[in-house]
Amino acid sequence: MSANPHTTRSAFSRSTRRRAVAVVLAAAIVAGLVAPSAAQEDSPASDEASQPSGSALDVARSLLPEHLRTIEASSAALSQATSRVVALEQTILTNREIRDVASLQLLQLATDREQQRTAIATQRSRRLEAGRRAEDLRGELAELAVAAYVGGGRTADALPLNAESASDSGRQQVMVDAVDETLRARLAAAEADVVDASQKVETARTELGRIVAEVHETTRRRDAAEAILIDAEPAMPAAQERYRDTFMVATVSGSDMSVVAFDAYRTAASSQASCRIHWTVLAGIGRVESRHGTYGGARPQSDGTTSPRIIGITLDGRPGIATITDTDGGAFDGDRVYDRAVGPMQFIPGTWRTARRDGNGDGRQDPHSLYDAAAAAAAYLCRFGGGLDHGGRLNQAILSYNQSQHYVNEVLRYGRSYAHLE
C-alpha cells in the first residue's frame, strides 16, 4: 500500500547532500578556491538527474499510493504533520546554507591567516636585516668621523704652507663630506625600513588577531548549524512517514470518510470489475454498517485496520434479534457462546469464513481491516454475477447482505451522495 520508506529516506538524503556539495563547489569556484576542472570532475549534476526532486512535502506525498496523491483531504493532525515537514525542511535548508557558507569562509580565512603569518615573518626578517644594515652604517660613520678627525684636525700653526697643499686638503674634505652624506642617507633609509617593517608587523598581527577571532566565531556558527542538522536530517523521514499516515486517516474533502476507507472501497470494487459493482455501493454499506470504521469511537489506522475493533451486538435471540451460536470460538468477536457481527462491514464470523479476502496484499484476511472487509463485501455481492450496475440485480445483491429494503435504500442513498468524489 505504501512506498518503501527506507528507499525514499536514502534517496532524499543522497539528493540533498549532492545539492549541498554542488552549492559548495560552485561557491568555491567563484571564490577561486577550487579550479573549475576539478569541480567538474566531482560535480553531482549527472547523478542528480536520477534522484527525486521537489520539496520535502513532495517527497512525503510520493510515499502515498500514486492514485491517492491528487486526493484532497483534511484534518487537524494532517495540518500539524504538514507544518512539521515544511518547518523541518526550512530548518534543514537554512542550516545547510549556514554550514556550507561557514565552511567556505573557513577555507578563505585559513588562506588569509597563512598570508598574515607569512607577512609577519617577512616583515620581521626585513626589520632584522634593516637593523643590521643600520648598525653597520653607524659603524662606518663612526670610523669616517675618526678618520676625518685624525687626518683633518687643524690648529693655527698647522695651516697649509702653500696653495697646493691647501688645495689637496680641500679636496679631501669634500670627499669626506660626500661619503658622510651618502652614509647618513643610507642610514636614514635603513632606519626608515626598520620603522616601516615594525609598523607592518603590528598591522599584520592585528589583522591576524581579527582573523583568528573570526575563525572561532565562524567555526562556532558552522558547528551550531551542524548540531541542528544532526537532529533535523534524521527526523525528516519520520516526519514524512507521519504525513503519509495522517493523510491516510484524514477526511476526504467533501465527504464523511477517511482516505483509507475511500481507497479500500475503490480497491475492492476494482478487484471485482467483472460484475461491475461500483465503489460507491460499498461506501454506502460501510456508511450504514459502521460509519466507515468509526462507529463507537473506533478510528481507522493508516493500514486500514480499525482501533478499537468494532463488535456488534450479541446475536442471542432476544426480541428482534437473530440467534446465531458461536462459529469462530471467539476468534473474531471475543464471544465463545454467540456470534457477533465484526469489523467495519459487520460480517458474521461464519459468513466471513467463506467470504474472507486479503484486500491489500498484506498476507492477512482480517474482518477488522477496511481493505479486507471491503474486498470480502464486494466478492459477496458479486455472487449474483455481473450487471450490478443495474438497479434490479443490485437491489437483490444488497438484500442478500441484509434482508431489509430500508437497508437497501439507505445504502443506495449514501452511495449516491458519494458520486461527486469520482
Run of H or E including 157: none
Residue 161 has pLDDT above 80, yes or no: no
Residue 200 has pLDDT above 70, yes or no: yes
Least confident of 57-66, 222-231, 256-265, 386-395: 386-395
pLDDT band at 340 (very low <50, low <70, confident <90, very high): very high
In whole angstroms, give the CA distance from residue 302 to residue 206. Answer: 63
Residues 6+ apart with CB under 8 A from 227: none
Q: What pLDDT does 327 receive?
A: 92
Q: What pLDDT does 48 receive?
A: 33
Instruction: Quote the strand ranges of 278-324, DSSP E.
Output: 299-300, 306-307, 311-314
pLDDT band at 154 (very low <50, low <70, confident <90, very high): very low
Q: Quick count: other Cβ atoms within 10 Å of Cβ 52?
A: 13
SS3 154: coil
Least confident of 45-54, 100-109, 261-270: 45-54
Q: Which long-range contacts (CB under 8 A, 24 or more apart) does 384-391 make?
A: 384/275, 385/275, 386/274, 386/275, 386/276, 387/275, 387/276, 388/275, 388/276, 388/277, 388/278, 388/281, 389/276, 389/277, 389/278
* 227 to 92, 98, 212, 310: CA distances (angstroms): 11, 12, 22, 46
In whole angstroms, give the CA distance from residue 358 to residue 56. Answer: 33
Least confident of 116-125, 148-157, 388-397: 148-157
- CATH fold of 259-421, please? Lysozyme (1.10.530)
**Using one digit for the tens of pLDDT, what is the confidence trace for 15-57?**
444 444 444 444 444 444 444 444 444 443 333 333 345 899 9
Residue 245, all three cell numbers: 499516515
pLDDT band at 164 (very low <50, low <70, confident <90, very high): low
pLDDT band at 165 (very low <50, low <70, confident <90, very high): low
Residue 260 has pLDDT above 80, yes or no: yes
pLDDT band at 166 (very low <50, low <70, confident <90, very high): low
In whole angstroms, give the CA distance from residue 230 to residue 126. Answer: 49
Bridge partners, 314 (sequence order):
340
In whole angstroms, give the CA distance from residue 20 to residue 26. Answer: 10
- 8 A C-beta contact, residue 347 and residue 330: no
pLDDT band at 169 (very low <50, low <70, confident <90, very high): low
Run of H or E including 310: none
Q: Which residue has the higher pLDDT, 168 or 308?
A: 308
pLDDT band at 326 (very low <50, low <70, confident <90, very high): very high
Run of H or E including 386: none
Residue 286 has pLDDT above 90, yes or no: yes
- 8 A C-beta contact, residue 185 and residue 133: no
pLDDT band at 177 (very low <50, low <70, confident <90, very high): confident
Q: What pLDDT does 129 receive?
A: 97
Burial 281-302 (b: 16+ CB within 10 A, else e): bbbbbbbbbbbbbbeeebebbb
Percent over 70 (pLDDT), the chain: 83
In whole angstroms, give the CA distance from residue 257 to residue 95. Answer: 40
Query: Where are the domains positioned within the chain?
Result: 5-126+215-252, 259-421
Residue 119 has pLDDT above 80, yes or no: yes
Bridge partners, 342 (sequence order):
311, 347
Q: What pLDDT does 18 receive?
A: 47
Residues constituting the chain: 422
Least confident of 25-39, 77-91, 145-159, 380-394: 25-39
**Using one digit for the tens of pLDDT, what is the confidence trace for 299-324?**
999 999 999 999 999 999 999 899 99
Average pLDDT over residues 393-410: 94
User: What's the mean pLDDT when you consider all of the chain?
Assistant: 86
* 346 to 222, 247, 402, 411: CA distances (angstroms): 59, 25, 10, 14
* Burial (CB count within 10 angstroms: exposed 0-12, middle 13-18, buried 19+), residue 361: exposed
Average pLDDT over residues 270-279: 94
Q: Which residue has the higher pLDDT, 30 or 180?
A: 180
Q: Which residue in the block uniquely carries the three cell numbers 557558507?
A: 101
Rounded to a whole number of angstroms, the CA Rg of the chain reads 46
- 8 A C-beta contact, residue 82 and residue 242: no
Q: Quick count: other Cβ atoms within 10 Å of Cβ 146?
A: 10
Q: Which residue has the higher pLDDT, 60 or 1?
A: 60
What one-character-per-residue DSSP string does 163-208 give? HHHHHHHHHHHHHHHHHHHHHHHHHHHHHHHHHHHHHHHHHHHHHH
**Using one digit for the tens of pLDDT, what is the confidence trace for 214-252?**
999 999 999 999 999 999 999 999 999 999 999 999 999
Residue 197 has pLDDT above 50, yes or no: yes
Bridge partners, 108 (sequence order):
none
**Using one digit for the tens of pLDDT, what is the confidence trace for 370-392?**
999 999 999 999 987 778 987 88
